[in-house]
Amino acid sequence: MNKDLQNGLSCSQFEALLAEALDDPSQSLPAKTREAFEAHRVNCPDCAPLFAETREGMSLLQMLQEVEPPRNLVHNILAATSRAEAGASVLAQGAQASWWERLMRSLRLPRLRFLHSRFVTSFCMAFFSLSLTLSLAGVKVSDLARVDWHPNALRKSVVLQYTQIEAKVTRYYDNMRVVYVVQSLSQQLKKASAPAQNNNNPNKDNTRPDQQNRMVVPGTGRPQEEENYSQERDAGELQEARSVPATREMTDPTMPTQGAQL
């Protein structure tokens, strides 16, 4: 921009007056200033096209006509503000409520959840299980107050407890192994001494009382196996059994006995 004075007005002054000069120079500018402005506009080669472009732009903008808003715009605005009013009234109710009402309102949902029967049952069961586990483990609630909750201390305590339990379990199984070893040795000793006694007293009946009634199978020397209800009897035994009424049948008065039928 040319900063030289042209007819007593610099280009920057000309630009500052441009807007007002384009509006209505007869009212917005004093007569002397208006004359200086006009003289500068005519003589300045930079400001003359600037003035022409600005005036053209202004006339183009003022040529733009007002557009018609959509027909439903007012209706939409009123509907939207009525919705906003409804929301605001709810907010206003919330703001006017006392602190106790707001507190109870905020606690209402959690309280209902808390009092739900399933939740209460689960909570009781969890508490019972925890207290039972703690009492079985020998933990007292009063001891918890003396516990050092520092992570390193807790880690040491857990390691110590684990080592002690591991030692107890190892000792228990070592003792059990000793017991089983002694028991198996005594059984072996018994088995080893039994054939020697039989050989020394072949005629002596050293069988147990429940083995005394066993029949020896001829030719094999093995004792005859005990009968059970799944084994079949020979025909003679069955015939003998038919001749004797069964105990179950005699105890049932409603049923005729086999002997009567025969």
Partner 1 sequence: MEDQQTEALVRRCVAGESSAWEEIVRLYNRRIYNLCYRFTNSPDSAQDLTQEVFIRVYRTLATYDIEKGAFNTWLTTLTRNLLVDHFRRGRQDRVTDSIDGSLGDDPDSMALSDRLRDPSPSPADRLASQETQKMVQRALARLSPDLREAVILRDLQDMDYKEIAHVLRVPEGTVKSRINRGRMELARLLSRNKRQASNE
Which residues in this chain contact partner 1 in the complex, by CB under 8 A? 15-16, 18-20, 22, 50, 53-58, 60-70, 73-74, 76-78, 80-81, 84-85, 88
Minimum gap (Å) between residue 62 Cβ and partner 1: 5
Residue (of 153, 149, 150, 171) closest to 161 by Cα position? 153
- Angle CA 128–132–138, to nearest 5: 150
Contact indicator for 51, 11 with CB cutoff of 8 Å: no
Distance CA 107, CA 111 (A): 6
Q: For residues 17 and 36, which CB has a smaller minimum distance to partner 1 in the complex? A: 17
Q: For residues 92 and 185, which CB has a smaller minimum distance to partner 1 in the complex? A: 92
Q: For residues 65 and 213, which CB has a smaller minimum distance to partner 1 in the complex? A: 65
- Length of the chain, please? 262
Q: Which two tokens stand for residue 63?
A: 């040529």
Question: 6 - beta bridge partners?
Answer: 9
Q: How many helices and strands (H and E) does the chain possess?
A: 12, 0
Residue 185 identity: L
Contact indicator for 23, 54 with CB cutoff of 8 Å: no
Q: Which two tokens stand for residue 100?
A: 């106790």
Residue (of 258, 224, 254) closest to 241 by Cα position? 258
Q: For residues 88 and 165, which CB has a smaller minimum distance to partner 1 in the complex? A: 88
Minimum gap (Å) between residue 11 Cβ and partner 1: 12
Minimum gap (Å) between residue 19 Cβ and partner 1: 4
Q: For residues 58 and 165, which CB has a smaller minimum distance to partner 1 in the complex? A: 58
Minimum gap (Å) between residue 3 Cβ and partner 1: 16
Minimum gap (Å) between residue 42 Cβ and partner 1: 19
Minimum gap (Å) between residue 5 Cβ and partner 1: 20
Q: For residues 80 and 139, which CB has a smaller minimum distance to partner 1 in the complex? A: 80
Q: Which two tokens stand for residue 122?
A: 């689960």
